[in-house]
């Protein structure tokens, strides 16, 4: 099938050669999950052009928060306030990736990835958020990074917005202000113009659902607003239009010359009914329509929110005594502008939750969480990562991918984030190895058995980094970073070797079937 050993870096680059992990030799990876139909390990490989990658984001790794003319972002403001982030930690220095470009690329080469997903810091490029504040030094940093990636033969996947909004734009309302559509379009236009000759895969927004709910409704992320019941809907509404505008700019001005693809990255867990009751089953059916569909349905289907979402928010609003829904409406021309503005689907997936039906008492407190008569929970028996919300449930990924195919058709899918957290410093991360093996195996089943059009996979994350409100306490890295050392040394974890092995084999080659490697 592939000439494995001829063009890949030897795994001994990590200091010792790889021993076949015991867990993959078993039929099942986890004691918890041993349903023969669902959980049996599949020894197969991916198509030759499958895009293996690793992912990061600007504020989480770059540091250099005020270097070379960069303006402040909402995360600079938020973390500097104190009382917002675990132990008042900040991304001021983070992994110092702004100054460690060479080492970061070396790590990507050690892993053998074909692609690197990173994000651009908007206030590094446009310090006050607008085109007139163009910062050449910031632009040059990303050109150096892109040039180095090209030299290393690593294809960039570039996210325009991974949550570090220029503070000056938050000062006029941020994503709750419609003007952001044109500010974001200008920014996107500049990025396509400056970097587009080196970039074929663009992401407009990373996880609209997370930064709008956490930033504008719950207040646990920057900008820390608690506009419960309407903040996330309003902010989300703006981001959908901003995404669509940016896609059209690319389509009209750049696609012919640059031949790239543009889409957004959506975050979704898988949702399993908690019991067999009809209420729970219907709630579990609603969950992906609302969570994934809030942002994916307008863009992939018809330019509008899913019908079920409109119905629930309208009813909940009416029960509050409001005369209009808290969910804004798109005009007909906006719907036309939004529908179909994707060239692929980016999916961030980490975990699975149970869903049960739960009707809310009257009068209702308005909030996204309560609008849909559902309650989420997880199973105590599921293996646990360090993040409270993150249980290891590999089969959920296959079900979610199947749901996407069923609802959105054969759209090309890139898994743009998948991974798990640990709390302490430890490079011996057996659970993370199992996480990657099992989730990637479920993606392989979705592809080979269910016919889902999965094109690539990006591990989150290349290295430990600033995990938002959790600071440096939750570590997602294939590489460990020592944040007590000013040099921020990076050390590969065992999972880095395991992921490199999967990439080198382009999937899973049974240790007993050597013929496959020699074909
Ligand atoms: C974090 O900042 C808040 C607000 O300034 C302060 O009250 C608190 O003591 C600080 N916590 C730590 C761990 O420094
Ligand atoms: C929403 O309200 C309409 C009109 O009262 C009703 O027919 C419908 O069943 C309600 N939907 C939900 C999900 O409660």
Report the pLDDT averaged over residues 336-364.
92
pLDDT at residue 4 tops 70: no
Mutation choice for ligand 2 from 278, 279, 311, 371, CB with most ligand atoms inside 8 A = 311
Active-site annotation holds for 417: yes
pLDDT at position 2: 33
Inter-residue contact 97 to 60 (CB < 8 Å): no
Report the pLDDT averaged over residues 4-12.
35
Confidence of residue 511 (pLDDT cuts 50, 70, 90): confident
Closest Cα partner for 425 from 474, 486, 498? Answer: 474
Q: What is the pLDDT of residues 425-440, one digit of tens each?
A: 999 999 999 999 999 9
Q: What is the pLDDT of residues 49-67, one digit of tens each?
A: 999 999 999 999 999 999 9
Instruction: State how far the Cα of 108 lies from the Cα of 101, in Å rounded to an integer.
Output: 11
Pocket of ligand 1 (CB under 6 A): 82-83, 87-88
> Judging by DSSP bridges, how do beta strands 374-377 and 352-357 pair with one another?
antiparallel
Q: For ligand 1, atom 7, which residue shows the shortest CA distance?
A: 83
pLDDT at position 359: 86
Report the pLDDT averaged over residues 205-225.
98
Report the pLDDT averaged over residues 355-365.
79
Domain positions in the chain are: 11-505
- Ligand minimally distant from the alpha carbon of residue 82: 1
Atom from ligand 2 closest to the CA of residue 308: 13
Q: For ligand 1, atom 2, which residue shows the shortest CA distance?
A: 82
Report the pLDDT averaged over residues 337-344.
98
Instruction: State how far the Cα of 119 lies from the Cα of 117, in Å rounded to an integer.
Output: 7
Mutation choice for ligand 2 from 315, 320, 357, 374, CB with most ligand atoms inside 8 A = 315
Report the pLDDT averaged over residues 16-20.
41
pLDDT at position 77: 98
Q: In what order do the strands lie in the sheet with 352-357?
A: 270-273, 352-357, 374-377
pLDDT at residue 365 tops 80: no
Pocket of ligand 2 (CB under 6 A): 311-312, 315
- Ligand minimally distant from the alpha carbon of residue 83: 1
CA of 330 to the centre of ligand 2 (A): 21
Confidence of residue 149 (pLDDT cuts 50, 70, 90): very high
Q: What is the pLDDT of residues 366-380, one digit of tens each?
A: 888 789 999 999 999
CA of 233 to the centre of ligand 2 (A): 20
Cβ within 8 Å of residue 167, ≥6 positions away? 71, 72, 73, 74, 76, 77, 123
Inter-residue contact 139 to 194 (CB < 8 Å): yes
What pTM was computed for the model? 0.94
Report the pLDDT averaged over residues 507-515.
81
Report the pLDDT averaged over residues 71-95.
98
Report the pLDDT averaged over residues 146-153.
98
Q: For ligand 2, atom 5, which residue shows the shortest CA distance?
A: 315
Confidence of residue 13 (pLDDT cuts 50, 70, 90): very low
Question: Is the domain covering 11-505 a CATH 3.20.20.80 domain?
Answer: yes
Q: For ligand 2, atom 4, which residue shows the shortest CA distance?
A: 315
Per the listing, tokens 């700019």 go with: 249
Instruction: State how far the Cα of 77 lies from the Cα of 306, in Å rounded to an integer.
Output: 35
> Which two three-digit tokens encode residue 210?
């997370």
Burial class (CB in 10 A: 0-12, 13-18, 19+), 324: exposed
pLDDT at residue 74 tops 80: yes
pLDDT at position 25: 52
Burial class (CB in 10 A: 0-12, 13-18, 19+), 27: exposed
- Percent of the chain whose predicted confidence (pLDDT) is above 90: 90
Average pLDDT score over the chain: 94
Q: What is the pLDDT of residues 294-335, one digit of tens each?
A: 999 999 999 999 999 999 999 999 988 999 999 999 999 999
Closest Cα partner for 413 from 446, 372, 381, 379? Answer: 446
Q: What is the pLDDT of residues 463-499, one digit of tens each?
A: 999 999 999 999 999 999 999 999 999 999 999 999 9
């Amino acid at each position: 099938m592939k000439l494995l050993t001829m063009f890949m870096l030897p795994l001994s680059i990590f200091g010792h050669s790889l021993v076949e992990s015991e867990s993959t030799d078993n039929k099942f990876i986890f004691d918890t999950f041993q349903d023969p139909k669902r959980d049996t390990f599949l020894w197969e490989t991916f198509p030759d052009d499958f895009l293996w990658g690793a992912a990061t984001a600007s504020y989480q790794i770059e540091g250099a928060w005020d270097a070379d003319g960069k303006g402040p972002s909402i995360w600079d403001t938020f973390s500097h306030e104190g009382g917002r982030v675990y132990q008042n930690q900040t991304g001021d220095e983070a992994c110092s990736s702004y100054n460690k470009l060479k080492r970061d690329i070396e790590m990507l080469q050690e892993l053998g990835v074909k692609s690197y997903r990173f994000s651009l810091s908007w206030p590094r490029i446009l310090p006050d958020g607008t085109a007139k504040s163009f910062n050449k030094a910031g632009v040059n940093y990303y050109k150096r990074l892109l040039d180095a990636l090209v030299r290393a033969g690593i294809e960039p996947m570039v996210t325009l917005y991974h949550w570090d909004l220029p503070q000056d734009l938050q000062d006029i309302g941020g994503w709750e202000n419609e003007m952001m559509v044109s500010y974001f379009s200008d920014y996107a236009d500049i990025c396509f113009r400056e970097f587009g000759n080196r970039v074929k895969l663009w992401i407009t927004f990373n996880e609209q659902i997370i930064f709008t709910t956490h930033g504008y409704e719950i207040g646990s992320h920057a900008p820390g607003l608690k506009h419960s019941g309407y903040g996330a809907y309003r902010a989300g509404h703006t981001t959908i239009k901003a995404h669509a505008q940016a896609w059209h700019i690319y389509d009209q001005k750049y696609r012919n010359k640059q031949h790239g693809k543009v889409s957004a990255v959506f975050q979704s867990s898988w949702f399993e009914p908690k019991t067999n009751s009809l209420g729970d089953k219907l709630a579990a059916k609603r969950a992906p329509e609302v969570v994934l569909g809030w942002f994916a349905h307008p863009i992939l289907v018809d330019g509008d929110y899913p019908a079920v979402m409109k119905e629930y928010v309208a009813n909940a609003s009416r029960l509050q005594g409001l005369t209009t829904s808290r969910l804004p409406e798109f005009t007909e021309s906006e719907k036309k502008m939004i529908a179909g503005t994707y060239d692929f689907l980016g999916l961030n997936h980490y975990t699975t939750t149970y869903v049960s039906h739960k009707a809310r008492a009257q009068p209702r407190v308005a909030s996204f969480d309560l609008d849909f008569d559902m309650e989420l929970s997880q199973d105590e028996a599921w293996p646990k990562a360090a993040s409270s919300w993150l249980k290891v449930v590999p089969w959920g990924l296959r079900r979610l991918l199947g749901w996407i195919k069923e609802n959105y058709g054969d759209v090309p899918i890139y898994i743009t984030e998948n991974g798990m957290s640990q709390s302490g410093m430890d490079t011996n991360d057996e659970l993370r190895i199992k996480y990657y093996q099992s989730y990637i195996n479920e993606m392989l089943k979705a592809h080979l058995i269910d016919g889902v059009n999965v094109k690539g996979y990006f591990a989150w994350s290349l290295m430990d980094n600033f995990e938002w409100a959790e600071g440096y306490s939750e570590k997602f890295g294939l590489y460990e970073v020592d944040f007590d050392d000013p040099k921020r040394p990076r050390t590969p974890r065992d999972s880095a070797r395991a992921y490199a092995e999967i990439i080198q084999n382009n999937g899973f080659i049974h240790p007993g079937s050597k013929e496959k490697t020699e074909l």
